[in-house]
Structure 1
Amino acid sequence: MAVHSCHTIFAESFFTRNAGLFEPYLSFVGLGDAVLNSPESEIPLSQYVALWEILGQEVSPTIGLQVGISTRSQELGAYGHAVRSAPSMQMVLRCLSRFIAVLTQGTRVDIDEDAKTVALAYQITDPAIVRRRQDAEFSIGIALSLFREVTQNPTLTPIRVDFEHDAPADLSFHRQVFNCPIFFNRPDNRVCFSRDILDMPVGTADTRLFQALEPFLEQQRETRAAATDLLSQMGRHIASGLGSGNVSIEQVAASMRLGVRTLQRRLSVQGLDFSQMVEGVRRSLAENYVAQSDYSFTEIALLLGYSEASSFSRAFRRWHQLTPLQYRQRAKA
């Protein structure tokens, strides 16, 4: 399995099923049509999340939740098949949390329990990805859809849902989907159920299939999780050093308290390329600064380590086929 120089998510059959939705907007985030027909394609997480945000602007402000609640386990590759075939609800929850890196890096899924409730919490951990409402609503929508699928209870209802983003102006679709209290500006995104859910039988359980999938998923998890840890650490150090100019591997190694050769060896083991990592962090931060801040483009160029605004503008057009001004206008429309 190839390892990319940024956090990635596998296309799986999900992109093929939703080709008609995604295809008109792929070029907006620098993606090609190959992701629509190649389940093994790895999509940079920042571009994947940016694609959702564009769909939220161009198609529907609730598109993430609409697609999430209609997504089924078979569209999520081996990860989805393991969740579906797990022999108990405890194992369903364990799979959702433990093996998330097999599907997507730069995220976390935690299971929190107390005496009365069980909650699945989801959050992007990549610090460079800030605009992510649609991904959050898509992911919580999928979680509810999967719980309904494995319990074979299409009316299964949570007791509470939290989102980390601001409340949308229109909550009618959210209320229709969840039919429970919904809270915004929370620390993370989560869907909560009564503990009774743990006693529900898994109607889709297939013990033999689960036993066959689990060793494969463990192997993939170890590989992907190791790369995720290194990517996250380096991403933070690259981001903090961009404003001082060109970020070198020597600077990053020093800030991580590692020798240059040690860092180079770790990159080599994971198949990572330092210059591509710097490019990926620059791109993610550029998208956030342009869309979310009131910084001038000259200020953004300096924050990202460009010597002049024209160099930044050329790079931005290469990434998005849009000027920074066009991208800002689209984001704020």
Structure 2
Amino acid sequence: MSIRASMAAPSCHTIFAESFFRRNADLFAPHLAAVGLDEKILMSPESEIPLSQYVALWEVLGREVSPSIGLQVGIRTQSSDLGTYGHAVRCAPSMKLVLRCLRHFISVLAQGTRVGNEDDGKSVALSYQITDPAIVQRRQDSEFSIGIALNLMREITLCPELRPIRVEFEHAAPIDLSFHREVFDCPIHFDRPDNRVCFSRDLLDMPVRTADTRLYEALEPFLEQQRKHRATATDLLSQLGLHIASSLGSGSVSLELVAGSMKMSVRTLQRRLTKHGLDFSQLVEGIRRSLAEDYVARSDFSLTEIALLLGYAEASSFSRAFRRWTHSTPKHFRESHSGQLFSDTAIGG
């Protein structure tokens, strides 16, 4: 179990490696360099991994290993792989506290993400979504996270046959749904507002067989301390990301422009950036790169149109920046991603 006395403020949204990377070292190791990650994270649970690189790693695995790799790994991931966050979920003395723990403490494990739970009187839903606006291609992470949610419910109830009544994903439906149907055995819907797994409301009455009240009470204050520390930076990064992304087309994204759109003074914004160790120009560059890769890979916009959307005056300037980011021309990048095919309509399983 990983206990952290203090954490340095990140310059971007991050996720902790925890035991998860070590246990999946053979899967991840051959592909880390493709997204700029070092192999040392495989044996260092304390490593903070930029969320954008973590999600990009999943997308590489989806292309190079298996189109359903996220779900394949998620459905076998256990609470012990998720550090203190996972241990608290496992130890929570009631299903109500399990759901609160999943929702309230997610930023301790992963910033720039949101977990929710809803009760409509007939069913209970666990939802998940990345809130970082710069991360657009994220199918594998979504399926991985919903797979984890289902497996955690099975683990803590000691009920391996537990099945959801409905599953939803925000991405378009993959062509091959055979593994999804095998795992969930329920209707599966795509192109939805977020990702969620829904259970009968009877879930709330199921006992938590792995509960350890004393350990949960010991872990909760620590998690709350870390949540406050991480959530403050998460909120600022999310706000900045949205305002930067919406300002890119203006041609010049300045601190003054973003501060004005956030309705605060330049001095106040600069002070908040300094407090959290954030570099404004690096944030702009990261968001511009992420959106550029998505536009090139998944849209039919011309290079000139993409350049204008991202604030470049000329397509040639955009192409030079794109080669610097990806070591590939936009044309070759688009061709290499042309195999990421999805069906055009949502499919119910």
Give the shorter-chain TM-score range: over 0.9
Work out which of the residue numbers 310, 317, 329 in structure 2 matches 1:323.
Answer: 329
Alignment correspondent of 1:140 = 146
Could you tell me how far apart the structure 2 residues matched to 1:280 and 1:314 are? Answer: 16
Residue 310 of structure 1: CA displacement? Answer: 4.6
CA shift, 1:259, in A, is 0.7
**Which whole-Å CA distance do the structure 2 matches of 1:219 and 1:324 have between them?**
44
The 8 Å contact of residues 108 and 123 in structure 1, kept in 2 or not, is answered as yes
Q: Which residue of 2 aligns with 1:38?
A: 44
Indicate the percent of aligned positions where both proteins have the same amino acid.
73
Is the CA contact (8 Å cut-off) linking 2:15 and 2:110 kept in structure 1?
yes
Residue type matched to 1:312 in 2? F
How far apart are residue 311 of structure 1 and its match? 4.3
- Residue 287 of structure 1: CA displacement? 1.6
1:117 paired residue number: 123
The separation in 2 between residues aligned to 1:117 and 1:297, in whole angstroms, is 46
Aligned positions of 1:117-266 closer than 5 A: 117-266=123-272
What is the alpha-carbon distance in structure 2 between the residues aligned to residue 307 and residue 103 of structure 1? Answer: 40
Q: Deviations over 1:276-299 (max 9, x none)?
A: 111211121112111111223343
SS of the residue 2:171 aligns to: coil
Gaps of 5+ in 2: 1-6, 340-349
Confirm or deny: 8 A CA contact 1:123 1:136 kept in the other structure: yes
In the comparison of the two structures, how many residue pairs are matched?
333
Instruction: Identify the match of residue 272 of structure 1 among 268, 274, 278.
Output: 278
Aligned mates of 2:170, 2:307 — CA distance in 1: 29
Unaligned runs of 5+ residues in structure 1 are: none
> Tell me, what secondary structure is at the counterpart of 1:13?
helix
- TM-score where L is the length of structure 1: 0.95
Match of 1:322, SS state, is: coil
Separation in structure 2 between the aligned mates of residue 318 and residue 37 of structure 1, nearest angstrom? 30
Provide the residue aligned with 1:94 in structure 2. Answer: 100
Equivalent position of 1:50 in the other structure: 56
Query: Aligned partners of 1:153 and 1:22: how far apart in 2?
Result: 30
Cα separation, 1, equivalents of 2:106 and 2:331: 36
Change (3 A) 1:31 1:267: same
Which residue is 2:25 aligned to? 19
Q: Distance in 1 between matches of 2:85 and 2:332?
A: 38
Q: Tell me by how many angstroms 1:40 deviates.
A: 1.8
Aligned CA distance change for structure 1 residues 28 and 317 (closer, same or farther; 3 Å): farther
Where in structure 2 are the equivalents of 1:274-313 lying within 5 Å? Answer: 274-313=280-319
> How far 1:171 moved relative to its partner?
1.4
1:182-240 deviations in whole A, cap 9, x for unaligned?
11122211111111111111111111211111111111111111111111111111112
Say which is worse superposed, 120-129 or 256-265, in terms of deviation.
Answer: 120-129
SS of corresponding position for 2:322: helix
The amino acid of 1:102's aligned partner reads V
Q: Is the 8 A contact 2:14 2:111 kept in 1?
A: yes
User: How many angstroms does 1:141 deviate by?
Assistant: 0.2
**SS of equivalent residue, structure 1 residue 166:** coil
CA contact (8 A) 2:11 2:276 kept: no
Contact 1:28 1:320 in 2 (8 A): no
Identify the residue that residue 83 of structure 1 maps to in structure 2. 89
Range with bigger deviation, 240-249 or 299-308: 299-308
What is the identity, as a one-letter code, of the residue corresponding to 1:4?
P
TM-score, reference length from structure 2 = 0.90
> Aligned in 2, Cα 1:24/1:324: closer, same or farther, shift over 3 Å?
farther
Q: Is the 8 A contact 1:313 1:323 kept in 2?
A: yes
Return closer, same or farther for 1:4/1:240 CA change in 2, 3 Å cut-off.
Answer: same
